[in-house]
Structure 1
Amino acid sequence: MFALTNTITRSAALRQGLLAAANRQVSLKVVPVESTVKDESYFEKNERLGRKVSPHLTIYQPQLTSILSITHRGTGMALGVGVWALGLGALISSHDISHYVTIVEGLQLSDAQLTAIKFIIAYPAGFHTANGIRHLLWDTGRFLKIKEVYSTGYAMLAASFVLSGILALL
C-alpha cells in the first residue's frame, strides 16, 4: 500500500489534479422541497411523455387460445394444490381412508350427485392431461398453423370431457 501511495504522489500530473481539486470552489443552492417533488402520478407522467399503457387482459377480446392457456395453468395449480392437500391431510390425519369413505356414504348422495361431484373433481386432471398432450404435439412441430391450433383446441376440449366422464364413472 505504501509503495502504491508513494508512486502516485510522485506523479506530477496527479499532484496537479489533486491541488486543482482542493482549490476548487463549490457552492450549494438551497431549493425548496416543493420544487423537486412532482405532483403528477405515474400514469400522468406516461401520458405526458406519450407512452402507451402495456396491453393486458382487459384490452384483448377473449380467444380460445388464451382461455385454454389460462385454464391449463389454473388446472395445473389446482392439481398441485390438491396433491399437496391430500398428502398433508394423510400425514396429519388420525383416520385412514375408510373413515372418510364412510362419511361420504353417510351423506346418502344419489348416483347422479356422486357422479357429478366425481366429474368436477376429475375435470382438472382430464383437461390438464388432454391439453398437455396437445402441447407435446406442438413441441414436435405439428398443428402450429392457426386453423390447426383452433381445431386441436376444440378436439382437446371434447377429449377432456370424455376423459373426465370416464374417470367419473369409475
Structure 2
Amino acid sequence: MAAANRQVSLKVVSAGSTVKEETYFEKNERLGREMSPHLTIYQPQLTSMLSIMHRGTGMALGVGVWALGLGALISSHDINHYVTMVEGLQLSGATLTALKFIIAYPAGYHTANGIRHLFWDTGRFLKIKEVYSTGYAMVATSFVLTAILALI
C-alpha cells in the first residue's frame, strides 16, 4: 500500500552531462590500477624467439616477392643487365656466398619452421621437451638448407 502512495518524478538530463570522456589509461589511473609490465619482465625463450623469427622471415619473404615483382614491372632492363652489374663489382667468392646466404636465410628458416608447424598441426611434438628439441633441430636444418641454397 505504501508503494502506491509514493510519488516518482522524472528529470530529463542530457547524455553529455552524465557520460565522462575518460580514456582507458585515465580510468586505470583513477582506480589505482598499475600498468602490466608485460614484455619488460620476461626473459626471452627459445619458443618466443623462434615465433618472432618465423613472422619476421615471412614478412621479409613477402616484401622480397613484392619488390622483385614491382622491380620487374618498372625496370627498363632485364635480369642479365643486373647480373652483369654484380659481376662488374668483382666481389670475392666468399663475399658472394655470404650475400647469397643472407638473402636465402629467410627462405630456409621459414621453410624449415613451416614444416615444424605442419607436424604440430597433426598433433605431434607438442610436449614442451619435444617443442624445444624440434626447435633446435629446425634451427640446424634451416642453416643447412640455407647453406645448400647459398652454394648453388
Query: Structure 1-normalised TM-score?
Result: 0.74
Cα distance in 2 for partners of 1:133, 1:55 equals 34
Amino acid at match of 1:79: L
Specify whether residues 52 and 149 from structure 1 end up closer, same or farther in structure 2 by C-alpha distance, changes over 3 A only: farther
Residue 96 of structure 2 corresponds to residue 114 of structure 1: yes
Deviations 1:81-125 (A, max 9, x none): 000100010011110000000000011100000000000000000
- What is the identity percentage for the equivalent residue pairs of Structure 1 and Structure 2? 81
Q: How does 1:11-26 map onto structure 2 within 5 Å? A: 26=11
Amino acid at match of 1:131: N
1:70 matched to which residue of 2?
52
Specify whether residues 93 and 50 from structure 1 end up closer, same or farther in structure 2 by C-alpha distance, changes over 3 A only: same
2:108 matched to which residue of 1?
126
SS of 2:123's equivalent in the other structure is: coil
2:119 matched to which residue of 1?
137
Cα distance in 2 for partners of 1:78, 1:70 equals 12
1:99 matched to which residue of 2?
81
Q: How does 1:36-75 map onto structure 2 within 5 Å? A: 42-43=24-25, 45-51=27-33, 53-54=35-36, 56-75=38-57
Structure 1 residue 60 displacement after superposition: 1.8
Structure 1 residue 27 displacement after superposition: 7.5
Gaps of 5+ in 1: 1-23
Cα distance in 2 for partners of 1:147, 1:27 equals 65
Residue 61 of structure 2 corresponds to residue 79 of structure 1: yes
SS of 1:165's equivalent in the other structure is: helix
Specify whether residues 110 and 51 from structure 1 end up closer, same or farther in structure 2 by C-alpha distance, changes over 3 A only: same
Specify whether residues 52 and 135 from structure 1 end up closer, same or farther in structure 2 by C-alpha distance, changes over 3 A only: farther
Specify whether residues 26 and 140 from structure 1 end up closer, same or farther in structure 2 by C-alpha distance, changes over 3 A only: closer
Cα distance in 2 for partners of 1:78, 1:25 equals 63
Higher relative contact order (CA 8 A, sep 6+): 2
Specify whether residues 160 and 37 from structure 1 end up closer, same or farther in structure 2 by C-alpha distance, changes over 3 A only: same
Gaps of 5+ in 2: 1-8
Equivalent pairs, count: 141
Match of residue 139, structure 2, among 147, 152, 157: 157
Measured on the aligned residues, the alpha-carbon RMSD in Å equals: 2.5
